[in-house]
Amino acid sequence: MDGAGELAWELARTELLYGEWLRRVRRRADARGHLRAALEAFERLGAAPWAERARAELRTSGEAAARRRDPATLSQLTPQERQVARLAGQGLSNREIAERLFVSRHTVGYHLHKVYAQLGIASRAELGQLDLDDDDSR
Q: Quickly state the pLDDT bin for 137 (edges 50, 70, 90).
A: very low
Q: What DSSP state is assigned to residue 130?
A: S
pLDDT at 138: 39
Could you give the C-alpha distances from 64 to 59, 74, 95, in angstroms and in order?
Answer: 5, 22, 31
> pLDDT digit string (tens) for 29-54?
888 888 889 888 888 888 888 888 88
| Cα-trace Rg, the chain | 19
pTM confidence score: 0.49
Q: What would the mean pLDDT of 4-10 be, rounded to a whole number?
A: 80
Q: Quickly state the pLDDT bin for 73 (edges 50, 70, 90).
A: low
CATH topology of domain 71-128: Arc Repressor Mutant, subunit A (1.10.10)
